């Protein structure tokens, strides 16, 4: 069976063209009808019909000799295509390998890169470096998860390893909330970090400068009583002690604190450094995962020239990103997370290769 299309201003006119050629509806079958606007903006109607080869040739005025020559030509073309398929592929994959090496060197997971790019091996796409990179970046952008609302719970607990900037970024986020309309007297900051020297003074200074009530809890058992006292607060930010993946004592204390403050209106935010290696980020995530982490905050993106490790981590865990920290200044060096902001550094690194 052969297919043929007829185009006219209206569906009825297109149908008349088919009748005009084949004489009767009995000689063909309408299989599709559609409308669209042409390049000049005019509405066009198209119908597609199906007709057997003998009928097509009869109404096209093709005699038997011409039909035989046409069949031979079609058969020859098919044989040529078969020969082309059977021949070994000779496409150059050097650009494909180059792009793979760039992405892996920049920190992306090798198995993920291979999964994305191997289907292009032996195709024309494999010869276009820019197209390959564009495809990978588009896949990364589609796969990264961004938090719809950076702050959507009443109690926000900040956890993460020592030195990633939990305290500083807690203050930045509190300032951001005030800027967005939450009154400072409706916010409370609770310091659970009684392990680190100077933590009390640092967070207390930030709270005072923002006009926010500040509390320090030395004993995890006191958290529950404090939460009851703060029942009138609209937002509560809790700063936790930094913890290494091998410090079980601090880990147990964190569990106790979380159990006492946990409620439907609480959110655990994992604070991570964008300058960390992939294996370290995975260790950190697994270390705190029992706390039911809902979001992640990325810090120190200004201190790395290899953000592929962070990208790989986000692709692997699917953790929604809420904020990105770009420096130490409170409250200025903070921005709501966007896919563009996360990819910006990575794109520059890859293109600078």
Strand order in the sheet with 43-51: 2-8, 43-51, 29-37
Looking at the fold, whether 233 and 284 belong to one and the same domain comes out as yes
Looking at the fold, whether 69 and 103 belong to one and the same domain comes out as no
Label residue 91 by pLDDT band (50, 70, 90).
low
Least confident stretch, 47-56, 139-148, 318-327: 47-56
> Averaged over 241-264, what is the pLDDT?
63
| 64: pLDDT strictly greater than 60 | no
How confident is the model at residue 90, as a pLDDT?
44
How confident is the model at residue 300, as a pLDDT?
85
Looking at the fold, whether 251 and 347 belong to one and the same domain comes out as yes
| 238: pLDDT strictly greater than 70 | yes
**Integer Cα distance of 143 and 270 in angstroms:** 19
pLDDT, tens digit, 9 for 90 and up, residues 129-181:
888 888 888 888 888 999 989 998 899 989 888 888 888 889 899 999 999 99
Show which of 140, 172, 203 is a domain's final residue.
Answer: 140
How confident is the model at residue 235, as a pLDDT?
93
How confident is the model at residue 263, as a pLDDT?
61
Q: The domain spanning residue 310 has which CATH number?
A: 3.40.50.300
- Average pLDDT of the chain to the nearest whole number: 79
Looking at the fold, whether 58 and 203 belong to one and the same domain comes out as no
| 240: pLDDT strictly greater than 70 | yes
**Integer Cα distance of 290 and 312 in angstroms:** 21
Residue 149 lies in a domain: no
Residue 9 lies in a domain: yes
Token output for 161: 């390893």
| 337: pLDDT strictly greater than 50 | yes
Query: Three-state DSSP class for 273?
Result: strand
Residue 298 lies in a domain: yes
Strands (DSSP E) along the chain, which ranges? 2-8, 29-37, 43-51, 155-159, 187-191, 213-216, 235-239, 266-273, 295-299, 321-325, 334-336
How confident is the model at residue 107, as a pLDDT?
84
Show which of 49, 67, 86 is a domain's final residue.
Answer: 86
How confident is the model at residue 16, as a pLDDT?
84
Show which of 86, 111, 128 is a domain's final residue.
Answer: 86
Q: What are phi and psi of 106, to 5 degrees?
A: -85, 5
Looking at the fold, whether 252 and 303 belong to one and the same domain comes out as yes
> Averaged over 66-77, what is the pLDDT?
59
Residue 162 lies in a domain: yes
| 249: pLDDT strictly greater than 70 | no
**Integer Cα distance of 70 and 76 in angstroms:** 10
Looking at the fold, whether 100 and 204 belong to one and the same domain comes out as no
Least confident stretch, 63-67, 116-120, 206-210, 225-229: 63-67
Residue 145 lies in a domain: no
Looking at the fold, whether 65 and 98 belong to one and the same domain comes out as no
How confident is the model at residue 325, as a pLDDT?
85
User: How many other CB atoms sit within 10 Å of the CB of residue 228?
Assistant: 8
Looking at the fold, whether 230 and 264 belong to one and the same domain comes out as yes
The model's pTM: 0.68
| 88: pLDDT strictly greater than 50 | no
Query: Three-state DSSP class for 270?
Result: strand
Q: The domain spanning residue 25 has which CATH number?
A: 3.30.1660
Looking at the fold, whether 163 and 24 belong to one and the same domain comes out as no
Q: 139-159 burial by CB neighbour count: b if 16+ within 10 A, else e?
A: ebeeebbbbeebbebbbbbbb
| Distance separating the N- and C-terminal Cα atoms of the chain | 54
> Averaged over 197-212, what is the pLDDT?
76
Looking at the fold, whether 32 and 122 belong to one and the same domain comes out as no
Residue 147 lies in a domain: no
| 329: pLDDT strictly greater than 80 | no
Domain of 110 in residue numbering reads as: 94-140
How confident is the model at residue 291, as a pLDDT?
79
Helix axes 166-179, 199-210, angle to 10 degrees: 10
The more confidently predicted of residues 213 and 220 is: 213
CB 324 within 8 A of CB 301: yes
Residue 258 lies in a domain: yes
Least confident stretch, 81-95, 101-115, 312-326: 81-95
The count of structural domains within the chain is 3
Q: 118-130 burial by CB neighbour count: b if 16+ within 10 A, else e?
A: eebeeeebbebee
CB 155 within 8 A of CB 268: no
Query: Three-state DSSP class for 15?
Result: helix
pLDDT, tens digit, 9 for 90 and up, residues 258-275:
666 666 678 889 999 988
Looking at the fold, whether 238 and 254 belong to one and the same domain comes out as yes
How confident is the model at residue 136, as a pLDDT?
85
Residue 148 lies in a domain: no
Looking at the fold, whether 334 and 214 belong to one and the same domain comes out as yes
């Amino acid at each position: 069976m052969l297919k043929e299309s007829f185009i006219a201003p209206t569906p009825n006119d297109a149908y008349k063209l088919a009748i005009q050629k084949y004489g009767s509806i009995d000689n063909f079958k309408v299989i599709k009808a559609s409308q669209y606007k042409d390049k000049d903006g005019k509405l066009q109607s198209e119908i597609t019909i199906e007709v057997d080869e003998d009928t097509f040739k009869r109404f096209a005025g093709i005699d038997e000799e011409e039909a035989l020559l046409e069949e031979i030509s079609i058969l020859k073309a098919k044989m040529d295509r078969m020969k082309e398929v059977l021949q070994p592929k000779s496409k150059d994959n050097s650009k494909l390998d180059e792009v793979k090496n760039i992405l892996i060197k920049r920190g992306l997971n090798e198995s993920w890169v291979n999964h994305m790019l191997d289907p292009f091996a032996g195709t024309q796409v494999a010869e276009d470096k820019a197209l390959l990179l564009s495809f990978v970046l588009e896949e990364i952008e589609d796969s990264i998860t961004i938090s719809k609302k950076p702050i959507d719970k009443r109690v926000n607990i900040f956890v993460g390893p020592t030195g990633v900037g939990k305290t500083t970024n807690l203050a930045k986020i509190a300032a951001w909330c005030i800027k967005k309309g939450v009154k400072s007297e409706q916010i409370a900051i609770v310091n659970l970090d009684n392990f680190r020297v100077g933590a009390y003074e640092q967070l207390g200074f930030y709270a005072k400068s923002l006009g926010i009530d500040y509390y320090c809890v030395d004993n995890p058992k006191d958290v529950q009583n404090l939460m009851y006292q703060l029942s009138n607060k609209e937002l509560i930010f809790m700063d936790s002690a930094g913890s290494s993946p091998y410090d079980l004592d601090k880990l147990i204390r964190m569990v106790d604190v979380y159990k006492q403050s946990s409620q439907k209106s609480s959110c655990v935010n994992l604070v991570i450094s964008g300058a960390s290696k992939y294996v370290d980020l995975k260790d950190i995530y697994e270390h705190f995962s029992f706390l039911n982490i809902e979001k992640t905050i990325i810090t120190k993106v200004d201190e790395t020239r290899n953000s592929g490790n962070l990208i790989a981590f986000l692709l692997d865990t699917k953790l929604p990103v809420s904020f990105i920290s770009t420096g130490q200044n409170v409250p200025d060096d903070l921005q709501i997370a966007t896919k563009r902001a996360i990819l910006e550094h990575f794109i520059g690194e890859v293109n600078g290769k």
